[in-house]
A and B are shown apart, each in its own frame.
Chain A
Amino acid sequence: MSTVAVWEGIAAVVAASTLGDVLQSRAMKEIGDLGLVRKSEGLWTVIRRVATNGRFMLGLGFMAVGFFSLLITLSWGDVSIVGPASASLTFLANALVAHIYLKENVDRRRWMAAICVAGGVALLAH
């Protein structure tokens, strides 16, 4: 498989994983603090609210797509490239999309955290 195809696969993994993460984060923001909901309305209410949230289920679907895209991309290229590249680029993509879509306050400190963790995860594959 060509290098271009491997990087297209990595892009698909990063896109699907990021969409999965931000949709689940958005869903949890809508539902509210699960600990407080459990205290006031019980565990079954927590489970029902999470399981019936459309964004959560869509996020779960994207996470599944990301997982299977990773498996397919791993069969195309070296694990030492595909694994760390997809994991660390997902960290950076999450910070960008969380700022744009979730309206999170991603200040310089959080950008530095995302860059350091992304670099660290990439190095762990060596």
Chain B
Amino acid sequence: MSARKYLVLLVVIVCAACGDVSLARGMRAFGAVTLANLPTLYTAVLSPWTLLGILLLLGFFASYLSALSWADLTYVLPATSLSYILMVLLAKFFLHEHVSIWRWLGVALIVTGVGFVANGPEATPGAHRHNRIETVYGPVGAVGEVADGTGEA
């Protein structure tokens, strides 16, 4: 896998975790939002931390779509779940939340899960448009597997 693809996965992980933490930080400054004080929500959305959170989550979505354009969903989801770990670390050291032993166990399980996909191939041959080979019989994969053949524009 190229450095560009690792960079895209890194952007997904960092933007997801930092976006959620920024939103949490922004919303906490305004207390609980209820129907009685709904206008507070508009003020909260325009606060710098909340705006930063929204921008980071837009960045997350763009890079997530980019990753899905060259990697399988079953590769992208576990690989980018490292964002949960970054979120736990940010919650502990930036938001000063208590992190229980169960959460650390959850972190260990996620790291194990990421380890399972880390060394495997990121895409099923022929599943993505850029790694299909067009033949007179229709699209086939890079190693000769028949692709689904329904997605061509």
Residues of A within 8 A of B (CB): 21-22, 24-26, 28-36, 49-50, 91, 94-95, 98-99, 102-107, 109-110, 112-117, 119-124, 126
How many chain B residues touch the partner (CB < 8 A)? 42
Which among B81, B100, B114, B151 is the interface contact of A29 at CB below 8 angstroms?
Answer: B151
Q: Judge whether B20 is part of the interface by a CB distance below 8 angstroms.
A: no
CA distance in complex: A117, B4 (Å)? 25
CA distance in complex: A31, B88 (Å)? 34
Q: Judge whether B127 is part of the interface by a CB distance below 8 angstroms.
A: yes
CA distance in complex: A26, B68 (Å)? 9
A91-B106 in contact given A29-B129, A33-B70, A33-B130 (Cβ < 8 Å): no
- Residues of B42-98 at the interface with A, using a CB-CB cut-off of 8 Å, are 65-66, 68-70, 72-78, 81, 84, 88
CA distance in complex: A40, B102 (Å)? 48
Q: How many whole Å from B80's CB to the nearest CB in chain A?
A: 10
CB pair A116 B72 closer than 8 Å? no
CB pair A114 B74 closer than 8 Å? yes
Q: How many whole Å from A63's CB to the nearest CB in chain B?
A: 10
CB pair A122 B106 closer than 8 Å? yes
CB pair A123 B105 closer than 8 Å? yes
Cβ of B130: which chain A residues have Cβ within 8 Å of it? Answer: 32-33, 36
Q: Judge whether B113 is part of the interface by a CB distance below 8 angstroms.
A: yes
A123-B106 in contact given A113-B78, A113-B114 (Cβ < 8 Å): yes
Cβ of A117: which chain B residues have Cβ within 8 Å of it? Answer: 77-78, 81, 109-110, 113-114
Cβ of A34: which chain B residues have Cβ within 8 Å of it? Answer: 65-66, 69-70
CB pair B110 A28 closer than 8 Å? no
In the complex formed, the residue of B with least CB distance to A122 is B106
CB pair A120 B124 closer than 8 Å? no
A114-B128 in contact given A28-B68, A123-B102 (Cβ < 8 Å): no
Q: Judge whether B6 is part of the interface by a CB distance below 8 angstroms.
A: no
CB pair A33 B69 closer than 8 Å? yes
CA distance in complex: A112, B75 (Å)? 12
Cβ of B113: which chain A residues have Cβ within 8 Å of it? Answer: 112-117, 120
In the complex formed, the residue of A with least CB distance to B101 is A126
Cβ of B4: which chain A residues have Cβ within 8 Å of it? Answer: 35
A25-B68 in contact given A103-B127, A110-B78 (Cβ < 8 Å): yes
CB pair A28 B65 closer than 8 Å? yes
Cβ of B128: which chain A residues have Cβ within 8 Å of it? Answer: 29, 32-33
- Residues of B108-153 at the interface with A, using a CB-CB cut-off of 8 Å, are 108-110, 112-114, 116-117, 120, 124, 127-130, 147-148, 151-153
